A and B are shown apart, each in its own frame.
Chain A
Amino acid sequence: KAGVTQTPRYLIKTRGQQVTLSCSPISGHRSVSWYQQTPGQGLQFLFEYFSETQRNKGNFPGRFSGRQFSNSRSEMNVSTLELGDSALYLCASSFGPSREQFFGPGTRLTVL
């Protein structure tokens, strides 16, 4: 079974720009969560989608948004990028909420 895939793997943007990251979950998984990982803060929860509905949201500003499509694929968007948004963005899929999550390789975003 193919794992979670994320595209692109690396991204360099400048302040003020916006970015869209994509995640394809494991086949059959309907829940997709997004996390931001930085050396200082560790893994921080951004939001979770289940069956195209956002079920939960972490403490991030409204510049961070996401959506999920009918095939469970998910996208995350960050608008008006700031230097502090530089991080590894990880997507995790699971069969359902609270079930074990499987992570993708991440998208490393650098904001200059």
Chain B
Amino acid sequence: QKEVEQDPGPLSVPEGAIVSLNCTYSNSAFQYFMWYRQYSRKGPELLMYTYSSGNKEDGRFTAQVDKSSKYISLFIRDSQPSDSATYLCAMWVGNQFYFGTGTSLTVIP
């Protein structure tokens, strides 16, 4: 079993929809949680960083962490075609980060 599981998709939604992206993890020791967005042929771009259970909001993005269920989510409100990318979750424990394999999202105009 991988440390971090992420549905690869692909996910296709119409413009303006609310998008929900999710990751589950097995190691209860994970302390820090991040979401990255990666456009084709680019490096990942940090979107959200949180270290506690609960919600964190930044513009149209909301990151949610549920440590009791070992589950994290990223919600995108009013999705735009420019949100079309691969979204990676990442978590930190010990001395390294562990990444999900990414979910491919397409927002259709």
Q: Find out whether the CB atom of B99 lies under 8 angstroms from the CB atom of A43.
A: yes
Which of chain B's residues has its CB closest to A50's CB? Answer: B95
| Residue total for A at the interface (Cβ-Cβ under 8 A) | 22
In the docked arrangement, what's the CA distance between A97 and B32, Å?
Answer: 11
User: Which one of A35, A98, A104 contacts B31 once the chains associate, using CB atoms below 8 Å?
Assistant: A98
Question: Is there contact, CB below 8 Å, between A103 and B95?
Answer: no
**Residue of A42, A45, A106 contacting most chain B CB atoms (<10 Å):** A42
Chain A: minimal CB distance from B97 (Å): 7
Secondary structure of the B contact surface, majority rule: strand
Q: Does B63 contact A (CB under 8 A)?
A: no
Residues of A within 8 A of B44 (CB): 43, 90, 103
A110 at the interface (CB under 8 A from B): no
Contacts of A4 in B (CB 8 A): 43
Residues of chain B touching chain A, judged by Cβ–Cβ distance below 8 Å, are 31-32, 34, 36, 41-46, 49, 88, 90, 92, 94-102
Q: Using a CB–CB distance below 8 Å, which chain A residues touch chain B?
A: 4, 33, 35, 41-43, 45, 48, 55-56, 58, 90, 97-98, 100-106, 108
